[in-house]
Structure 1
Amino acid sequence: MPNNPPPESRLSLLGRYEPPSPTLARRFLGRCLEELRLQRGLRRAAAARTVNWSGKWLGSHEAGVARITPETIAALCRRYRADEAQTTELRELAKRAANVQDWWNEYPSSVLTREYCTYLGLEDAALQQRRYAPNLIPEPLRTRDYHRATLSGIATQPHIQLGLQQAQQRHTQILVRNNPPSLNLVIGERALYRQVGTPDAMARQLRHLLSIAALPHVQLQILPEDVNDGEAPPYALLELPEPEPPALHWQRREGRWFLSSKPAHIDQFTKTFERIQHVALTTQESLDAISCAARKWHPVATSHTPKAQFPPNISRMVDLASDRRSARRTSRRGSDPLW
């Protein structure tokens, strides 16, 4: 990840920096307002009372998660004693951001939450993505059938399921658009053998994964099941255009996803990703692993090929466990957990 300017430099960029997307504009705007508040030594709760908000609500605006109106900006700037030029620039920035609608804003909050929409905006603007997915194929790489199966039991209302399916199909376009982000992805081996949907759907998903891996901006690796990842959670690290700091989107144990740009979080997850990459299979070994798993889910029908059996719990890929590769993985692995 590149070194980014510290947060206190945001106000100095007013009038010289034009954020390339509405999400980055709100994020930049929020950081400017936070800087003005801190310059006056105001706590968030005290500043929020100026506009009849709670401290938590103001925090969501400073984080760039919620939209903020020019009128509210003017009220906060008066409280912060911002000069006229700063107030004007911040108000105009808010107006420009409000005039552009991204596709995820078309969905109600019952389908895509405000926080997830912010993540989608950051992901859309990212120059590079680093992803770790230990248990499931991550959303931008899912086929329609695979994604539909993941929603079973989560979204019970038909209109929400339909909205999530439609949104996912649009989400997948990020990797095949013009000027896509570079993607470094590590998927846990268990995701290849964890049945989501029908065996045919699993085979199609893994063949789709192979086609994505062939893209020049994608590097895909598989983490063997017998490597101790220390129960590292699923997460995505996003490198954003300067002057924005990197962003982290990760899932906690209770299942909720969180968005953070705290340096401590970025540093921890970056080091974890580097360790996971180091002990994962090489790119070619990973492609072989995915092909092997796809054949297990849907083997080619021939006169001498028996009907496939799908054990409920496949813990490792026997086809890849040659002595040569086992020795190589052992030398890279070590016994310490990665997380």
Structure 2
Amino acid sequence: MKKSDFNFDLPTELIAQSPLPQRSASRLLLLDVPVRTWQDRMFRELPSFLRKNDLLVFNDTRVLPARLYGHKPSGGAVEILIERVTGTHDAIVQLGVSKKPRPGTAIILADGSQATVQGREESFFRLRFESPEPLERLLMRLGEMPLPPYISRHADASDLERYQTVYAREPGAVAAPTAGLHFDEGLLTQIRDKGVHFGYVTLHVGAGTFQPVRTDDLAHHQMHREWLNVGAGLVDQIHRTRRAGGRVIAVGTTVVRALESATVDSVLRPFAGETQIFIFPGYRITSIDGLITNFHLPQSTLLMLVSALAGREYILGAYEHAVKQRYRFFSYGDAMLIFPQGAT
């Protein structure tokens, strides 16, 4: 397949620049794949589409304030965006700088501490932070929430809360698992009271999730690495859910990537480690029965994953409908609920 097969026209005014006042006030496009229909609903209606013994699987990663600002000793400004933390004082990063630095180059941070360029890793750089405190603590003190590149403003204090799920607990991501941003405590309580169970994976979303596909032939695309953990407890939950006749519903494409990375020959097993899994049409997703997801960028790997689940033409038709109905797109936008085997 070709990257160009996943293009669609999106007016820039539909790209959500800020969250709604209430998380669950988003709109929800309900996709019933077998009958090829969709319905315009509200996210707060989600409990009515769930059944007792269903299992919602969330990604409990926590977003780090992963954008830092500094300067070279010569005075040139440097913007650092953490891609992933690789050690107590080490990270793979993107650098916004006028001239790409060589190994050994120092970057002076806002508090006077220093980071040193260790080398290159494809389009990224390896940095070592010389501060005596652990990197995660340094980021909490100096960092800014890393809003996606299509949000044309700097992060403010409200983003510290809103670009984070209410159930986030494992720090390590530098981009939010955005399907989870629609859930507030009240909605979670309603869902739990209906007899729906909750399970969790951890997948630390990297800034590479926003990197474009640079080759038109998808067979030649290589995904960025992300660290994940699918625990034995969740695997047992999923097996119990299936035995009880419940459905496994992933909250976000990161959950799908985690579960599929832990699936071998259609059997889900505990797994912790890195993944570069690339899911696009032709790949058969076996780990889930439903998916909650936001609307994704044209020609993105996330749009390709959703198309693998529900069919490219059907998904692009649903996106065309969403554009006509003025849905809000991307991280702070609205959501879709997809049932590949049917909504009832």
Q: TM over 0.5, yes or no?
A: no
Compute the TM-score of the two structures, normalised by the length of structure 1: 0.25
Q: More helix per residue: 1 or 2? A: 1
Q: Which has the larger radius of gyration?
A: 1
Specify which structure has the bigger relative contact order, considering alpha-carbon pairs within 8 angstroms and separated by 6 or more residues. Answer: 2
Q: More strand per residue: 1 or 2? A: 2
Compute the TM-score of the two structures, normalised by the length of structure 2: 0.25
